[in-house]
Amino acid sequence: MRVDDRRKPKLALWKFSSCDGCQLSLLDCEDELLAIASAVDIAYFLEASRFQSKGPYDISLVEGSISTPEDAERIREVRRRSRTLITIGACATAGGIQALRNFKDVDQFIATVYARPEYIDVLTTSTPIDSHVEVDFELRGCPVNKTQLLEVLNALLNSRKPNVPHYSQCLECKRAGTVCVMVAHGTPCLGPVTQAGCGNLCPSCNRGCYGCFGPQETPNTASLSAWLTRLGLAPREIRHAYRSFNANAEAFRKESLRHE
């Protein structure tokens, strides 16, 4: 990215329908925060500061999905004011856990949860940011991995492509020498179809991956489902395995529908 050499790039963080966890990942970069603050001008980041600069912004990091009419309008405005727009996390890149509504009738959920459903104004679906505006790069995870987040910022500031893997979590296990929980213990694991990047968190703790980084580049979900069936999972359990934080990601959505 090219910005005027005389000024620091303006960084903005935007929240849509989400839990704030991905924004927190940036604040969690404790050792690197001062370096970030000296490299960019933090122009809009309500979770960290009340200061608000009007923009335009050089880099916008966007957390959250589009699940209300107001979200749909606001993301277009954010896009207009941003030179580079990066989506961060499962909500922004796939619709998030709130996209479970996409498989059901949202009015039924609202009537069950809220005492006064008539006050609730939501879209019938929760969708990722790239369903509404052009996105320049997407960073997966629930929440995002802070090392990857730093890598993306570093890459942008140095006009290079971010080095973020698109292969599967299984490769991380092999590299780390982690014993496969599925082969060794018969524990169901979505690692073969899930994008790496979390730092091998779950298998290294002897538990299966539940897919929070979303589908890898070429996921063979049908093959994994056959494995899960051999491990004794019923179609309902396989469906539920694919329907979590990335339920609306195309590969996971399609595979879950095969087990309706």
Residues that bind ligand SF4 (CB under 6 A): 169-170, 173, 178, 180-182, 189, 191-192, 194, 198, 201-203, 208-213
SS3 58: strand
Question: Which C-beta is closer to ligand SF4: that of 35 or that of 176?
Answer: 176
CB of 214 to ligand SF4, least distance (A): 8
Question: Which C-beta is closer to ligand SF4: that of 156 or that of 209?
Answer: 209
- Structure tokens given for 115: 């005492």
According to DSSP, the residues that pair with 88 across neighbouring strands are 63, 139
CB of 168 to ligand SF4, least distance (A): 7
Nearest to 42 by CA among 1, 9, 11, 4: 11
CB of 23 to ligand SF4, least distance (A): 18
Question: Which C-beta is closer to ligand SF4: that of 39 or that of 180?
Answer: 180
Question: Which C-beta is closer to ligand SF4: that of 82 or that of 194?
Answer: 194
Taking the C-alpha atoms of residue 90 and residue 140, their distance in angstroms, rounded to an integer, is 6
CA 234 and chain centroid, separation? 28
CB of 147 to ligand SF4, least distance (A): 13
CB of 171 to ligand SF4, least distance (A): 8
DSSP string computed for 96-109:
-GGGGGGGS-HHHH
Contact present, 228 and 240 (Cβ < 8 Å):
no
- Structure tokens given for 170: 């299984």
Question: Which C-beta is closer to ligand SF4: that of 78 or that of 212?
Answer: 212
